[in-house]
């Protein structure tokens, strides 16, 4: 059986490989990459995340896929779809999300791969809607959400249950995009 992939002109969204774990752990340990999360991830927590993504792909046929540059085959982060945890007020839902190594910010990669993920969500999975969310302070991700056609649903902004009460990152914004 061949490996799953989605292609754009510059990017390949694909299944995770063992060699992705070290660079993924490196980006998850970067304080700037993890600025809008409560804390950077240890190597073991980063590996657990890859394990979770691989399990989700095996069960659902999608996940936050490993992202690589076509020109270099270099792993640069993840972009893809993820089942929203049940404790979220807007569950059940599927979200589109991304996390890229800092050296690859500002090049349109998150928007390009996010758009490919949305096409897959609507054309292959036939989802009726996809959501995305981030800390209210994370304006970069909010700009990506807008660029890929999502609209903020201010009525559904929320306090993230996985962030401690009173923490400056607890307020989150929710974006939505309907299927065709």
Give yes or no for residue 1 having a pLDDT over 70: no
Per-residue confidence (pLDDT) for residue 2, from 0 to 100? 59
| Helix (H/G/I), strand (E/B), else coil: 57 | helix
Q: What is the dihedral of CA 163, 168, 171, 173, to 10 degrees?
A: -110
What angle separates helix 109-119 from helix 139-147, to the nearest 10 degrees?
Answer: 50
Complete domains list, the chain, with CATH: 5-178 (3.40.630.30)
**Residue-wise pLDDT tens digits, 155-170:** 999 999 999 999 999 9
Q: How far apart are CA 42 and CA 163, in angstroms?
A: 18
Q: How far apart are CA 179 and CA 115, in angstroms?
A: 13
Per-residue confidence (pLDDT) for residue 180, from 0 to 100? 73
What angle separates helix 21-28 from helix 43-60, to the nearest 10 degrees?
Answer: 120
Per-residue confidence (pLDDT) for residue 3, from 0 to 100? 79
Please state the pTM of the whole predicted model: 0.95
Q: How far apart are CA 7 and CA 79, in angstroms?
A: 12
Check if the beta carbon of residue 28 is closer than 8 Å to that of residue 49: yes
**Residue-wise pLDDT tens digits, 73-121:** 999 999 999 999 999 999 999 999 999 999 999 999 999 999 999 999 9
**Residue-wise pLDDT tens digits, 6-59:** 999 999 999 999 999 999 999 999 999 999 999 999 999 999 999 999 999 999
Q: Quote the tokens at residue 172.
A: 């989150």
* CA distances (Å), origin 156, targets 67, 68, 95, 142: 30, 33, 14, 15
């Amino acid at each position: 059986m061949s490996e799953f992939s989605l292609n754009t002109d510059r990017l390949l969204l694909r299944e995770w490989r063992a060699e992705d774990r070290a660079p993924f752990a490196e980006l998850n340990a970067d304080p700037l990459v993890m600025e809008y999360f409560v804390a950077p991830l240890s190597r073991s927590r980063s590996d657990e995340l890859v394990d979770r993504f691989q399990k989700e792909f095996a069960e659902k046929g999608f996940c936050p896929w490993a992202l690589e540059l076509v020109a270099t085959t270099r792993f640069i982060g993840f972009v893809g779809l993820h089942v929203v945890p049940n404790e979220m007020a807007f569950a059940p839902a599927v979200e589109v999300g991304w996390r890229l190594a800092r050296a690859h910010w500002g090049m349109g990669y998150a928007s390009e791969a996010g758009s490919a993920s949305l096409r897959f969500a609507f054309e292959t999975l036939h989802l009726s809607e996809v959501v995305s969310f981030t800390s209210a302070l994370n304006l970069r991700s909010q700009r990506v959400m807008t660029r890929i056609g999502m609209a903020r649903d201010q009525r559904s902004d929320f306090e993230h249950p996985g962030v401690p009460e009173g923490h400056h990152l607890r307020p989150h914004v929710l974006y939505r995009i309907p299927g065709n």
